[in-house]
Amino acid sequence: MAVPKKRTGHSAQGKRRSNWKATKPATTKCPNCGETVLTHTVCTACGTYKGKPVSLKDRVEETPAVEEKKPAKKASKKAEKAEEVKVEEPKAEEVKAEETTEAEEKAE
């Protein structure tokens, strides 16, 4: 593979890239709804192409989807232990509430 001996300067690089320009995409009007659409694409407004409805919404209504049931995943032992620990630990608010009620009882 060829490797350049010296670095290309900014001027030479700019001259080489001077013909590299972006072009506007070709657009047409939808014959069904009059919306501006990219050529050779389905109209996003009405879902037609060359006057025929081809949107995915129409296809879904025609053929109902069949839902597959996945088997339930087994919980790992670590997850089960973590859930047990979380259940057994009292919340900080509950502990504070118990301490205040005990302090009130002692004061009486």
Residues in Cβ contact with 46 at an 8 Å cutoff, skipping those fewer than 6 apart = 30, 32, 33, 35, 53, 55
Quote the number of domains for the chain. Answer: 2
Q: Are residues 49 and 79 in the same domain?
A: no
- Report if residue 10 sits inside a domain: no
Mind listing the pLDDT tens digit for each residue in 39-78?
A: 999 998 888 998 889 856 555 455 555 566 666 666 566 6
- Report if residue 13 sits inside a domain: no
Q: What is the pLDDT of residue 76?
A: 65
Residue 20 scores a pLDDT above 70: yes
- Report if residue 12 sits inside a domain: no
Q: Are residues 58 and 81 in the same domain?
A: no
**C-alpha to C-alpha distance for 17 and 10, rounded to whole angstroms:** 11
Domain that holds residue 58: 25-64
Q: Are residues 82 and 52 in the same domain?
A: no
- Report if residue 99 sits inside a domain: yes
Cα separation values, 103 from 25, 38, 39, 96, 98, Å? 78, 76, 79, 11, 9
Q: Are residues 60 and 82 in the same domain?
A: no
- Report if residue 8 sits inside a domain: no
- Report if residue 98 sits inside a domain: yes
